Amino acid sequence: MADKAFKKATAGVTMMEIVVVVAISSMVLTMAMLLMSRTTRHFKKGTDMLNIQRLMDNIVERLRTDVRSLKRVIPQNKDNTFAFFAIRDGDQKEIRYTYDKEKATLFRNEQGKESNFHGARQVKSFVFKPRYDEFGNFKFLNVVMQLISDEKGGGKASTLSIACQFYSTCVESELKISNLRKKAK
């Protein structure tokens, strides 16, 4: 009978066992929360970088297309503006890029239609440096830009920088039809 009473007394859980289980469980949960927090932070950082890369690709591709069809540069005395005439649908159209530092946005204006590449407050810096040959003819355009993430959240904002050169295929004065006919003869 004493055996049965002893087994009943030892069949329960002691306070020490409960404390050990709670301590181990809390350590496992804490490690899981840290892992999830880091994973979430890295996912946000990756998403931020992807969004900035898309914006940068849009700006670079639009500039490349516009400068490729550049016919004549409109002189500017500022590093934050670049204006020129480009061939569009057989006509020369004025295109102007302007970086607004206060709004941290790059604007593109073509014949009065303005766009900001859906990058409001994301352009940290932007510089246009057109280069000319010894005769004052346009050679190429150097562009340096730095974009910043617009996402809110913990940690520093993601940034991405690039320097590019853009060349025109239409700026050549020899590409006039009369000059081509002369060369053909």
Tokens 């690709």, located at residue:
57
Q: Which element (helix H / strand E) includes 126?
A: strand 123-132
Give pLDDT tens digits along the chain (185 positions): 556 655 555 667 889 999 999 999 999 999 999 999 888 888 888 888 888 999 999 999 999 999 999 999 998 888 899 999 998 888 889 999 999 999 999 999 998 899 998 888 899 999 999 999 898 889 999 999 999 987 766 667 888 899 999 998 876 554 455 445 555 55
What is the rounded radius of gyration, in angstroms, for the C-alpha atoms of the chain? 32
Q: How far apart are CA 18 and CA 180, in angstroms?
A: 93
Q: Considering the entire predicted model, what is its pTM?
A: 0.73
- The pair of structure tokens assigned to 6 is 């002893």
- The pair of structure tokens assigned to 1 is 């009978």
- The pair of structure tokens assigned to 23 is 């301590």
Residue 105, CA distances (Å) to 108, 116, 147 in order: 10, 7, 10
Q: How far apart are CA 155 and CA 42, in angstroms?
A: 10
pLDDT of 153: 62
Q: Which three-class secondary structure state does DSSP give residue 161?
A: strand
Tokens 């910043």, located at residue:
148
pLDDT of 51: 87
Q: How far apart are CA 1 and CA 23, in angstroms?
A: 37
Q: Are 145 and 162 in contact (CB under 8 A)?
A: yes
pLDDT of 42: 82
pLDDT of 96: 95
* Other beta carbons within 10 Å of 58: 13
pLDDT of 11: 65
Q: Which element (helix H / strand E) includes 36?
A: helix 15-68
3-state DSSP helix/strand/coil % of the chain, to nearest 5 = 40, 35, 25
* Other beta carbons within 10 Å of 8: 9
